[in-house]
Each structure stands twice: as C-alpha cells, then as structure tokens.
Homo-oligomer: A and B are copies of this chain.
Amino acid sequence: MIRFYNGKTLRFDGGAHLTADEVWTDGGEIVYVGAPGKEKGAFEREIDLGGDVLMPGFKNAHTHTAMVFLRSLADDMPLDRWLSEQVWPNEAKLDEEAVYDLTRLGILEYLSSGITASFDMYVKNEANARANIDSGFRTVLCAALNNFDKDVENIEREYQRFNALDPLVSYRLGIHAEYTTSIERIEYAASLAEKYREGCFTHLSETRAEVQACVERYGLTPPQLLDRLGFFRYGGGGFHCCHMSGEDIALFAEKKLWAITNPASNLKLASGAAPIERMRKAGVPLAIGTDGAGSNNALDMFREMYLVTALQKLATGDAAACPAECVLEMACVGGARAMGLDDCTDVAPGKKADLVVLDLQRPNMQPENNLVKNIVYAGSKENVRLTMVNGRVLYERGEFFVGESAERIYGKANAFIRKIRQL
C-alpha cells in the first residue's frame, strides 16, 4: 500500500471540490479516502504531500501517440503540403519497432503533463499496446477503419484481442473519418457496434471543407450521415467537432455522444474552434485531447485546458464562457467516461489509482486564491510533481520509472529520425 498524506485532495463527486482527505492505494486501486488518523496499514511508501494537491490524472481523449516523431519535422507550411510531403511519406516508413519506441517517447511526455491514459488511434496496434504495457501506462486503442485497410475484418479481431490482453489496454470501435471510409465500411463498423453493443468513434467535422464535401456527396453532415448508418446506435462520439450545425449539436446531446476537442491542433492547422460553449449548454458530453504531436506540437493537457476556455471566450465574446471548473472536469472525468474508463474518474475507494500530485509551491500557483482556476488558467508541466498509473509511480520530480531510461528512449527516437532521412 502507498499512503498520500498532509495535502489536499481534489475529488469530483458532485463537481470538483477540495478535501483534506488522505488517500491509500493498494495494487492498482484506491482503497481508502478519508480523514487522517485511521489505524495505519502496512505501507510500502508514505508520500508527504506537503500541502500539494492529489487529484485524478488527466485523460488524453484523442491522440496519435507515436506521431511524436513528426514534431517539428514540418511546421509552418500549408496543410496539403504538410500531409503530402511530410506526414504520409514519413508515416510509410514506420515499422513495429519504430511505433513501439515512439509510443514510449509519447508516454514520457504524457506522464510529464499529468496524463494517466490515452485514447490512441494510430497504426500497428500490437506494438502500441506493448509499449503501453511495458511502460505501465493505460491506453484505450481506437479502431481507425478506412479505405486503405487491406483486411477489413482485422478490427473485429483487434476488438477481441486488445480487450482481453492486459488490464492496462482496451479497444474501442471506430473509423478514421467519413471522408476516408466508404459507406460499406462505415456500415461494417456499425454492424460491429450492433453486434457488441459498443459506441463508435471517428474524426468528425474537423474542417469546413470536410463538412461541405460530405454534404455535397450525401446531402447530410458527417454526424447526420453516420447516425443514419447506425454508427452511433450504442453511443461513441467524434474527435475535433469544430464545425457542428445546430442539428449536429442536438443529435450529440440527444444520444449523449462525446465531442472530444483538440484546440491546439485545430488552431495550428487553422481548422477552427469547436463550439464548446454551445455544446456544453446543449448538454453534449465533452472531453479533451492533444491530437498527435505532428500537428499540436506538444502533448500538454495544461495548454489544451487553457485553450478550451480561452478560445470559447474569444469566439463567444463572453469572458464568462466555459468556466475553469467545467474544463477541469472535462480533462479528468469527461475523458475517462468517453474512453470507457468509468473507474478512473475520481479519487474514491474502488477507483483505479490513476493519480497526479501537482506542486503548488511554484510561483504560478500563488497566491492561493482559487486552486481550480489556478490549475486551468496558470498551470504548466512544471507543476506535475508525481504521476501514478494503476497504482505505480511512473513519474516523480522529473524522473521517469517506466522500465527503460528516458535517455535510451530519446536515443531510439533520434536514431529513427536519422534512418528515415536516409530512406
């Protein structure tokens, strides 16, 4: 058992609220949250919070982790050239080993930003899953069926395999996007959703051009088309959701589909700003992702949280839009629920020990006017003192404990970059 004591605990039952509770974990779970002074268990470690705050980890609800190799490889160029000259040719050079190594690098950055789980849509899922398991990190893999897949039925095999492989790994159904996937293949994904009574996810209404092309092809927006095809029969949701009509928002609210926003990536690729405040007021469930480092370029939930609310204030002209408490709940709780990690939503007995300690003895957390607003509006990676996944401390005071040194992981990523430059 591990004991956290002498600090604050941020709980999320009935909205974010602070307590003076101490917290015990045992194996992968939280076993006690309550007043100090209870008879002590046999602790392998007692962590003195020294006034710092313990809270549920952030959930990165949309990402392509191994894409970290594209960070700063090609910026400041138009989207079409970025995709055709850099992303696609370089992604074609990825093999299993590269995806494994690069996923490990991405996980380091998640840990340094207090992220305890990723919702990861990428290629070579076997290597991806292994990198997560070997690092001790939690991931939910997302199917990305599209017209380039040679083996359509692979997603059903993956669904079965990765939902049984390891407690740290699960798998959700999905397609890459409407514009990369034929009607037949979307219907196939929908048939699996029906068979397994599972939600389905996809990139959705990311750019204006994507929505317009879909309307021209089918007379329907992407959310409406997918809904007609049965894709959302058992829930699910969309990544990005920048360009949502009133009807799209009503559909998402009615079916409780997740709108997963990626503000930094949408800004940098000039895609637009998702109508988060409108969706929130309509009752659409919301979560936050970093997207891949190729388009972001950081994997930093603090930056995303700030952008979620700041962009809404700009877009609506209302400085009261999208309050900090809602944003923090999106990052800690919403993401977990979107990914099917209902046991990773809170600091409460029986929940998974996916926890973060934030260092409050830093200038950006002072004075202590309001902790939640400080975190959302002023927090940064420098505040992440400790990140625990499934009861194991994987990051603490700048050091990583993921079964491989950070230096070796950096070295492998740089070796891969040298290799693809020669190919």
- On A, residues with C-beta under 8 Å from B are 68-69, 71-73, 75-79, 82, 105-106, 108-109, 112, 264, 266-270, 272-273, 293, 296-300, 302-303, 306, 309-311, 313-314, 316-324, 361-364, 366-370, 373-374, 377-378, 380-382, 398, 406-407, 410, 413-414, 416-417
Contacts and interface: CB of A to CB of B under 8 A. Distances in A.
B319 A373 contact: no
A319 B323 CA distance: 29
B297 A373 contact: yes
Q: Which of A72, A370, A373 has the most CB of B within 10 A?
A: A72
A267 B406 contact: no
B382 A112 contact: yes
Contacts of A108: 363
Question: How many copies of the polypeptide does the oligomer hold?
Answer: 2
Given A268-B313, A382-B380, A407 B366 contact: no
A264 B305 CA distance: 13
Contacts of A324: 75-76
A369 B300 contact: no
Contacts of A79: 319
B71 A378 contact: yes
A160 to B, nearest CB: 33
Contact of A267 (B76, B310, B413, B416): B310
Contacts of A264: 306, 310
A72 B328 CA distance: 14
Contacts of A302: 380
A313 B382 CA distance: 27
B310 A369 contact: no
The 8 A-B residue pairs with the shortest CB-CB distance, nearest first, are A109-B363, A72-B373, A297-B377, A267-B310, A108-B363, A76-B323, A298-B378, A381-B382
A293 B373 CA distance: 12
B298 A377 contact: yes
A112 B383 CA distance: 11
A270 B417 contact: no
B297 A367 contact: no
A82 B299 CA distance: 32
A298 B71 CA distance: 25
A300 B367 contact: no
A270 B413 contact: no
A320 to B, nearest CB: 5
Contact of A82 (B73, B109, B319, B363): B319
B112 A362 contact: yes
A363 B362 CA distance: 21
A314 B316 CA distance: 16
A364 B310 contact: no
Nearest to A377: B297
